[in-house]
Amino acid sequence: MPHNAHSCVIVDDNEIDRLTALAHARQYPLLNVVGAFESATEALSVLQNQPVDVLLLDVDMPGLNGLELRASLMQVPVCVFITAYPDYAAESFAVDAFDYLVKPLRRDRFAHTMSRVAAFFELTRKAQLFDLSLGTDTVFIKDGHEQIKLNLHEIVYLEGLKDYTRLVTATHHYTVLSSIGNLLQRKPFGSFVRIHRSYAVQRHYIDRVSAQQVQAQQFTLPVGRSYKAVLSDIDMKNG
């Protein structure tokens, strides 16, 4: 097992779904699956005394459900829900879900989640965290002893990774220790529009909007269901 693998537990009362999640997880050296449980109650009795890094949880289970299990294990850094019911998504983010996958589990969607999980753990491992201060139209990012000055209008989009946010320009990206929600509440980020729980894009860079995605320069970004109404009000540059 790679030295930087992160301990992971799978909980799903359906055996086929549990084995499917296990097969996907085993494709990633990032994860070290230390347990697979058919009951949230059984998992909780073990996990209260055995901390892990990643939870892959079904939501709808008899007795204790996945949301309740997560609420009892908020100290686990990453919780990904895997469920047949998309309607639980809003509730899952209330218990700090990292991601929400709808069954049947797709290889490409799971791969996207794993890349974000890897990026998150890479950020948390860094000894020197980026610090950020705002001017009226600039961002100053402190990286160790360096100060990087970034013009706000250069930032194409923001990507949230739990307590961190990646600021992406056409040629570079910078990561700061601040949630995307906190950044978007700051006045200098007023020109950004939230298009997804994890993404916000600067309005003047939006080239095309469809039901599923936004094109901003060379980047294609996903659109969350609850953000579609906001996008329908945007005056398009090319439309």
Q: Tokens 């998504």 map to which residue?
A: 89
What pLDDT does residue 148 have?
Answer: 83
Q: Give residue 238's pLDDT band: very low, low, confident or very high (50, 70, 90).
A: very low
- Both tokens of residue 36? 């697979």
pLDDT in tens, 82-116: 999 888 888 888 899 999 999 999 999 999 999 99
Question: How many CB atoms lie under 10 A from the CB of residue 191?
Answer: 14
pLDDT at 237 over 50: no
Q: Tokens 């309005």 map to which residue?
A: 203
pLDDT in tens, 196-225: 999 999 999 999 888 789 999 999 999 888
Mean per-residue pLDDT of the chain: 87
The pLDDT > 90 percentage for the chain reads 56
Under CATH, domain 131-232 is a member of which superfamily?
A: LytTr DNA-binding domain (2.40.50.1020)
Q: Tokens 């990026």 map to which residue?
A: 119
**Could you name the CATH architecture of 6-125?**
3-Layer(aba) Sandwich (3.40)
What pLDDT does residue 158 have?
Answer: 96
**Mean per-residue pLDDT, 37-65:** 95
pLDDT in tens, 159-172: 998 888 999 999 98
pLDDT at 232 over 80: no
Q: Tokens 């969607």 map to which residue?
A: 109
pLDDT in tens, 171-202: 988 888 889 999 999 888 988 999 999 999 99
Q: What is the DSSP string of the chain?
A: --TT-EEEEEE-SSHHHHHHHHHHHTT-TTEEEEEEES-HHHHHHHHTTS--SEEEE-S--SSS-HHHHHHH-TTSSEEEEEES-GGGHHHHHHTT-SEEEESSPPHHHHHHHHHHHHHHHHHHH-SS--EEEE-SSEEEEEETTEEEEEEGGG--EEEEETTEEEEE-SS-EEEESS-HHHHHTSGGGTTEEEEETTEEEEGGGEEEE-SSEEEETTEEEE--GGGHHHHHTPPPS--
Looking at the chain, the domain(s) classified CATH 2.40.50.1020 span 131-232
pLDDT at 62 over 50: yes
- Both tokens of residue 185? 């509440």
Q: Tell me how far apart the alpha carbons of residues 33 and 9 are, in angstroms, rounded to a whole number.
A: 6
pLDDT in tens, 112-148: 999 999 988 887 765 334 555 666 688 888 766 677 8
Looking at the chain, the domain(s) classified CATH 3.40.50.2300 span 6-125
* Overall pTM > 0.75: no
